[in-house]
Amino acid sequence: MDLILCHTTADFDALGAAVGLTRLLPGSKIVLTGGSHPAVRDFLALHRDEYPLIERRSVNPEKIRSLTVVDTQQRDRLGKAAEWLDLPHVTEIIVYDHHLGQESDIPARRSHISSVGATTTLIVELLQQQQISLTPTEATVMALGIHVDTGSLTFDQSTPRDALALAWLMQQDASLSVISTYRDPGLSLQLQQLLTESLENLEYLCLHGYTVAWVTLKTDGFVPGLSSLASELVELTEIDAILLANEYSLSESDSRLTVIGRSQIPKTNLNLLFQPLGGGGHSQAASLNLRGVDSQAILKQLLDGVKAQIRHPPTARDLMSSPVRTILPETTIAEAQRILLRYGQSGLSVVDAQGQLVGIISRRDIDIALHHGFSHAPVKGYMTTNLKTITPDTTLPQIESMMVTYDIGRLPVLENGQLVGIITRTDVLRELHQQRDENEGGGKAKRGKSNINLPQLQNKLAPQLWQLLTTASQEAEKRGWHLYLVGGAVRDLLLADAAGSLMIKDIDLVVDGFHKSADVGAGVELAKALQQLYPAARLEIHGAFQTAALLWHKDAELDSLWVDIATARTEFYPYPAANPEVEASSIRQDLYRRDFTINAIALRLTTPRSGELLDFFGGLLDLEAKQIRVLHANSFIEDPTRIYRGVRFAVRFGFQIEPQTEEFIRYAINSGVYDRTAQENSRTPALQTRLKTELKYILEAPYWKSALQLLDNLGALQCIHPTLKLDAELLRQLRLLERCLRRFDPQPTIIHWEMRLETLIAHLTSQYRAKVAKNLQLSEDSIARLKNLAQVQTEVMTLLPTFQPPSQVVQLLRQYDLPMLILIAVQSPREIRHQIWEYFTVWANMQPLLNGNDLKKLGYKPGPQYRQILDDVVAATLDGVIKDKTEAEEFLANHYPQ
């Protein structure tokens, strides 16, 4: 099997080059190694069957003969398919690319890299040389590759070679109409005339706050580029969906109908509507072509279908944040400012002693009061009392209208006179942005809320795990709560292959009950209910916030599973590197407090919206882009362990740390904030116990070397100690450490990750070692070992070179334990290391030629002298004085006469 690999998130240039190569390499297949650009997805939704594309999961690696990589020189851009580059039987690897000056890590036998605007140009030139002609569909996608990567020959990197390649592809009948559809060059003169006609004849209807338009155009013949016209109408009129019909005839008996559909309405799926009529596309863009039909009947059928798909818009209950942060009218301006700063809010609701809403005070109001010196004044003198409020059933369009009409940034949500939530401009903008992105073509990842196929997830998970989640959701529903699977479990599910039995060992569940009641103990209550159903699990309740955990140990079905169950919460760091202070909140706030976007995704398990994904920060996009992106600019200042987690995730998944996130990391480290907070506060858990935990996760993982190198590149080893760097000497010591551990401790009797950490700390000057070990709260043995290392190493390095008989070496070294000798070995010159190595491999294992029974037979009375006698026999054996049992007996007769 000969494979052509496109890079992850393939663009038209990668696809075009790959298609051209299938003509140069007959019988080869194209693999999209990990997604594609939205426009490429749209294109392949209609044209996939015209190219020899296969899925990565359908490839049998054992049958791969050759690999050809297009449009990249970096293996990490090939996703999981990069593993194929290392297959021993795959010796033919070729690279085609147009990016100069890049360091390639692909073991290619041949590379074709040239300074042109598109990789496709290189393939076109080879096709011309071999006089191979193309089909129109092949020429079209290759032309798209050059158009897109050169900006239709307007980008600076465009060359005459690209222009010549495009000209040849036109000779091969590349479809200009298809190219214009996906390249979007603007409207032709004919389309501009039809645009005017469409604007004059558009018909509209409004449903659930959304506007749907339709128009029928009659032309003399086929009009290319109608999809561009439909998109232009959507943009100009700000409608939410359009059906653009075009009637034309090729002859008196041959009437044709083309319908283009576009929709920005969440949950609508035009593909489902167009497919039964012979058309197709994707959820937000579809088209069809029919002959001899009643155009108005077809248009009405499609229009009715769109109307049926439009769901009721979100309500305040769906969008609001709850519970609401409130203050009393007597609260001072200074205290109100402190609360705003603590929770990062732009305003506060003011309630009276009975909990009735009496006003709202914004950050702007507080800033003005502070400016005039009224920090001790009560907020009641500055709050807004002329309030506009809404109910939980107020729809999004109504909310948006109120905010625009009255220029209001915060709308309180009242139910039966009680304040149950708050909606801000940010909530509205986030929802509107999500609706624009949702259901976008080609399966594009989006922010906000989206539905996922629960049966597909069920197929990924081990059945017993799925049953546990189902049971938990049923117990939550009984109590009127929402239950979400959050964090790493969701991430791992989304990254997992479509089939298999994923057995996640660590699951986080979050209960959101604030639409019903502010019960901070909801997580504990749910955990207790589950333990009644799973008596094999051990229940732990910990923390002031009443979180709970269910733990199984080597269970026949669930193995060693850990399930954390908590009520949704928000958090605040009183100072950098502290433990956060947490308070009950909503699922939205719970996700907002997390570290990285890929860990801030929640999957709703409870009905009626089971399968709904909450992704307010673009985590799905970052999973697709294979990047680690932090949620907040101050995240690393508040908690330096997030740096280590980010590195761990990046190396584990083969992701890149997003550039802005890397800048935040470097700023936090270089700011000196960690040193200052350690000096000012006696407890800095994020630089102590929590940092040790992250180091454990990294140093016990198979990728620990790569993680350490990335941490060093970021300067993050300074979190352990400001002077720690992964220099060449430390790298050498770590390599030696691994050799020692493999040879001296193959069946681990010591903890290997701790030895790696001790080796890092031992690289510091002796005055810092014990202090760093205590700060990380290592074991007493580790602290003592690092404290005494310098003294012991000096003694060993001074005495060993003077010892000649092996017995002297053994007598010196056996007083130290294995970890201490390993630390000395990795830090010592080769001669010393060689003696320690020989001690472990030969001398320490030497057994005496005689034993106690032999001494008894020889007439020696049992007693303490046995130990000394046998030690002397071993020493004589080590030094070559005696070689067998007979010589050993003679040795005793001479040295221990009876």
Nearest in space to 571 (alpha carbons), one of 483, 638, 669: 638
Q: Output the 3-class SS for 283-333.
A: CCEEEEEEECCCHHHHHHHHHHHHHHHCCCCCEHHHHCECCCCEECCCCEH
Please state, in angstroms and rounded to a whole number, the distance separating the CA atoms of residues 739 and 752: 12
Joined together, the tokens standing for residue 416 give 């039966």
Please state, in angstroms and rounded to a whole number, the distance separating the CA atoms of residues 898 and 890: 12
- Residue 514, pLDDT > 60, answer no
Nearest in space to 529 (alpha carbons), one of 587, 488, 468, 485: 468
Residues 6+ apart with CB under 8 A from 204: 211, 212, 213, 239
Amino acid 818 reads L
pTM of the model: 0.62
Q: What is the mean pLDDT of residues 229-245?
A: 89
Residue 897: pLDDT band with limits 50, 70, 90: confident
Please state, in angstroms and rounded to a whole number, the distance separating the CA atoms of residues 837 and 732: 16
- Residue 475, pLDDT > 90, answer yes
Joined together, the tokens standing for residue 123 give 């393939």
Residues 6+ apart with CB under 8 A from 322: 413, 420, 421, 422, 514, 515, 586
Joined together, the tokens standing for residue 155 give 């980008």
- Residue 606, pLDDT > 70, answer yes
Core vs surface per residue 463-480: b (16+ CB within 10 A) or e: eebbebbeebbebbbebe
| Segment 181-195, tens digit of pLDDT | 887 645 667 888 999
Please state, in angstroms and rounded to a whole number, the distance separating the CA atoms of residues 209 and 713: 52
What's the pLDDT at 451?
Answer: 64
For residue 255, give the DSSP letter: E
Q: What is the mean pLDDT of residues 768-774?
A: 95
Helix (H, G, I), strand (E, B) or coil at 371: helix
Q: Is the peptide bond before 806 cis (omega within 30 degrees of 0)?
A: no
Asked whether 257 and 247 are in contact (CB, 8 A), the reply is: yes
- Residue 895, pLDDT > 90, answer no
Mean pLDDT is lowest, of 529-543, 770-784, 837-851, for 837-851
Q: What is the mean pLDDT of residues 55-83?
A: 91
- Tell me the CA end-to-end span of the chain in Å, nearest whole number: 82
Please state, in angstroms and rounded to a whole number, the distance separating the CA atoms of residues 800 and 803: 5
What's the pLDDT at 590?
Answer: 86
**CB atoms near residue 593 (< 10 Å):** 18
- Residue 593, pLDDT > 90, answer no
- Residue 537, pLDDT > 60, answer yes
Q: Within 13 A of 108's CA, how many CA atoms are on the CB side?
A: 20
Residue 864: pLDDT band with limits 50, 70, 90: confident
Q: What is the mean pLDDT of residues 278-285?
A: 69
Amino acid 60 reads N
Please state, in angstroms and rounded to a whole number, the distance separating the CA atoms of residues 470 and 421: 29
| Segment 628-681, tens digit of pLDDT | 999 988 899 999 999 999 999 999 999 999 999 999 999 999 998 888 888 888
Q: What is the mean pLDDT of residues 347-366?
A: 91
| DSSP of 257-291 | EEEEEEE-STT--HHHHHGGGT-EE-SSEEEEEEE
Residue 440: pLDDT band with limits 50, 70, 90: very low
Q: What is the mean pLDDT of residues 197-213?
A: 90
Kindly give the pairing relationship between strand 66-70 and strand 92-97: parallel
What's the pLDDT at 623?
Answer: 94
Mean pLDDT is lowest, of 125-139, 514-528, 637-651, 790-804, for 514-528
For residue 848, give the DSSP letter: P
Which one is predicted more confidently, 649 or 420?
A: 649
- For the chain, helix (H) and strand (E) counts, in that order, are 37, 29
Nearest-5° Cα angle at 240, 237 to 241: 100
As a whole-number percent, the residues of the chain with pLDDT over 90 amount to: 51
Asked whether 353 and 326 are in contact (CB, 8 A), the reply is: no
- Residue 315, pLDDT > 70, answer yes
Q: Give how far Cα 62 sits from Cα of 59, 65, 88, Å.
A: 9, 8, 10
Average pLDDT, the chain: 87
For the chain, how many residues are written? 898
What's the pLDDT at 281?
Answer: 55
Q: What is the mean pLDDT of residues 563-579?
A: 82
Core vs surface per residue 702-721: b (16+ CB within 10 A) or e: eebbbbbebbbebbbbbbbb
What's the pLDDT at 160?
Answer: 94
Amino acid 316 reads A
- Give the DSSP H/E element, type plus range, for residue 831: helix 830-841
Asked whether 152 and 190 are in contact (CB, 8 A), the reply is: no
- Give the DSSP H/E element, type plus range, for residue 512: strand 506-512
| Segment 383-413, tens digit of pLDDT | 999 899 999 989 888 898 898 888 888 899 9
The contacts found for 293-296 with CB under 8 angstroms, 24 or more apart, are 293/255, 293/257, 295/216, 295/245, 295/247, 295/257, 296/216
Asked whether 509 and 561 are in contact (CB, 8 A), the reply is: no
Which one is predicted more confidently, 428 or 32?
A: 32
Residue 154: pLDDT band with limits 50, 70, 90: confident
Alpha helices, H only, 639-779:
641-653, 659-670, 673-680, 689-699, 704-714, 728-744, 752-762, 766-775
- Residue 436, pLDDT > 60, answer no
